Amino acid sequence: MSSETPNIQVEVNTVFHEKQSLAEEGRFVFSYNIRITNYNTEPVMLVSRYWQIIDGAEKVQEVNGQGVVGQQPTIPSGESFEYSSGIILQTPTGIMHGHYDFVTENGEVIEAPIPAFTLANPANLH
């Protein structure tokens, strides 16, 4: 799944971790890998993130914070930054979406949407 805002592309891949999950306890573990590519003519710094997470019971969580995985990376023009993170849901499915806020060297703020993506235990998709 990918999304583009003016000159910034966000791609997401997810993985369900069956061995770390305990269905009988309502614990479903997922990881997601994000790749952000900067197509601007100048570097951008990722300063903050916003996530909305909705599990299969329609319980909503919101996450706001500085940077990602403890970093506020500067992504040079034409380059990408990748990171992985994870989440534990109480249901075997859910969705996430949100946005990143970037700042250019001249102080322009760019909000890049993070496309909605599904978190799912493949066994529950049949």
Separation between Cα atoms, residue 94 and residue 60, nearest integer Å: 10
Residue 48 in contact with residue 66, Cβ under 8 Å?
A: yes
Separation between Cα atoms, residue 117 and residue 82, nearest integer Å: 17
- Report the pLDDT averaged over residues 2-6: 52
Residue among 53, 18, 44 at smallest CA distance from 100: 44
pLDDT of residue 93: 95
- Report the pLDDT averaged over residues 21-32: 95
pLDDT of residue 5: 55
pTM value is 0.88
**pLDDT band per the 50, 70, 90 thresholds, residue 3:** very low
Residue 78: Cβ-neighbour burial (10 angstroms; 0-12, 13-18, 19+) = exposed
- pLDDT tens digits, residue range 116-126? 999 998 776 55
**What percentage of the chain exceeds 90 in pLDDT?**
87
Helix (H) or strand (E) holding 66: strand 60-66
pLDDT of residue 81: 98
Q: Which residues pair with 66 in a beta bridge?
A: 48
- In this predicted structure, which of 2-6, 16-20, 93-97 has the lowest mean pLDDT? 2-6
pLDDT of residue 124: 66
Residue 81 in contact with residue 100, Cβ under 8 Å?
A: no
